[in-house]
Amino acid sequence: MHQRTCDVANTICRTTELGVTITGAAIDNQDRTHIFCEVLDPDPRCPNCRIAGQGRDKADRILTDTPAAGRPVLLHVAVPRFLCRTVDCPTTIFRANIEHIAAARAVITTRTIGWILQRIAVDKMSVAAIAANLSVAWKVVNRAALEAAQTLVYANRSHLGGVRHLGVDEHKWKHVRGNGESSWVTVLIDLTPVIDGTGSARLMDMIPGRSKHVLKTWMNDRDQVFRDRVKVVAMDGFTGYKTATAEELPTARIVMDPFHVVQLAGEKLDRCRTRIQQATCGHRGRKGDPLYKIRRILHTRTDLLTDKQKTLLYTALTSRDDHVAVEVTHQVYLQIIAAYEHRQRREGKKLMWKVIKRIQTGLPPGLEELAQLGRTLWNRHKEILAYFDVGVSNGPVEAINGRLEHLRGIAQGFRNLDHYILRSLLHSGQLADRINAL
């Protein structure tokens, strides 16, 4: 190629930053661009004796590079080979070291690994789509992404740095029958950026299983600096998470997430409604049954209902004396929501305390579900009321769980949990800055 043409090609393909210069190019019948290049300033020193060898010939090493003009690129690197003339050196022939271009035995360039991570973490592309863009096998892209993700996350101390507010929740990674606990993981989310107003929450790690032992082991494996830094841990109502946190992070404030408190109250409301439905009608809900018609309206705040819905709700709850249990449970459910929605947290905390004390004990017969709710809320009242003091919730955790569901969808499911964890960290771990720095 003409010297000026080569300079233009080097600029367009950015081959100089790899340490090579283009000598020729071609396109094959599979629409792939073949770029022929030579190594700039190869190191002629023997890897054993470190004495410069004598030039012998060049070996062609084919590497997949980042796409150019929307087409897959194959780099044909002419790697110099040398003869070692040192008498006592065991090496006779050796190649110039090109690890700055590609790792030993690798089939893709180093910068292509960074390109793959950008497509996964920033553009949310599937591995199959990336492999198609590079014209390589799926397993090549997947292996490169997993190895790079391990280095970014687990070999980087800053990944767990600055965490003061921690979110803990369970996540079902495999929706198939018969897997039991093996289909669940514990997710750990850094909520500090949300509380500080500096950014969004990020996924820190995922642990196979969901138990006290699982979380306790993870926390115990962290250094003392990390454990002393964590001030607040938000979680659902699972007692195992609470116990593990209390034992491993004794100075941290445990907060029971408002979403799960409201969800628990809603479940008790549904159970009360279905029990009264069965007792009064003798069957499960049907289209014309009063309680069945309001099953969704019961979970909506009164000020958000239309006049028609308000009338339907009032009629259903007051049509029979047997429905009073549903009406009372519904009022408690609305009071819990009102406490969380109060503009002043101090007043909201007072409202929540009154609700918990009111239903703690001494309820009349017929309010079994409400009594169960009262006992549960009383057992966790410290963690529930702590929300009004610190304002930390697991809402961002639920948002990340939704993003992980999307990841599993574009990947058409995962069978290997290790792959799922690393891909999830790439997808939701906010690693873009570190990936761009590669």
pLDDT digit of tens for each residue in the chain (438 aa)? Answer: 555 556 666 666 777 788 888 888 888 888 899 999 999 889 999 999 999 999 999 999 999 999 987 889 999 999 999 999 988 899 999 999 999 899 888 999 999 998 998 888 888 888 889 999 999 999 999 889 888 888 888 776 677 888 999 999 998 888 777 667 788 999 999 999 999 888 889 999 999 998 999 999 999 988 899 999 999 999 988 889 999 999 999 999 999 989 899 999 999 999 999 999 999 988 888 888 899 999 999 999 988 999 999 999 999 998 888 899 999 999 999 999 999 999 999 999 999 999 999 999 889 999 999 999 999 999 999 999 999 999 888 888 888 988 888 888 877 778 888 888 888 888 888 877 777 665
Token pair in block for residue 341: 């929605």
What was the pLDDT predicted at 4? 58
Distance CA 103, CA 108 (A): 8
What was the pLDDT predicted at 406? 85
Detail the DSSP E strand segments found in 114-197. Answer: 165-172, 184-190
| Residues 201, 396 contacting (CB under 8 angstroms) | yes
What was the pLDDT predicted at 266? 95
Token pair in block for residue 96: 């110039």
Is residue 393 left, alpha or beta, with left meaning phi > 0 and alpha meaning psi from -120 to 50? beta
For residue 307, the one-letter residue type is D
Distance CA 360, CA 358 (A): 6
Does the pTM surpass 0.85? The reply is: no
What was the pLDDT predicted at 5? 59
What was the pLDDT predicted at 6? 62
| Residues 174, 161 contacting (CB under 8 angstroms) | no
What was the pLDDT predicted at 233? 95
Closest CA to 23 of 71, 58, 55: 58
| Residues 60, 45 contacting (CB under 8 angstroms) | no
What was the pLDDT predicted at 428? 85
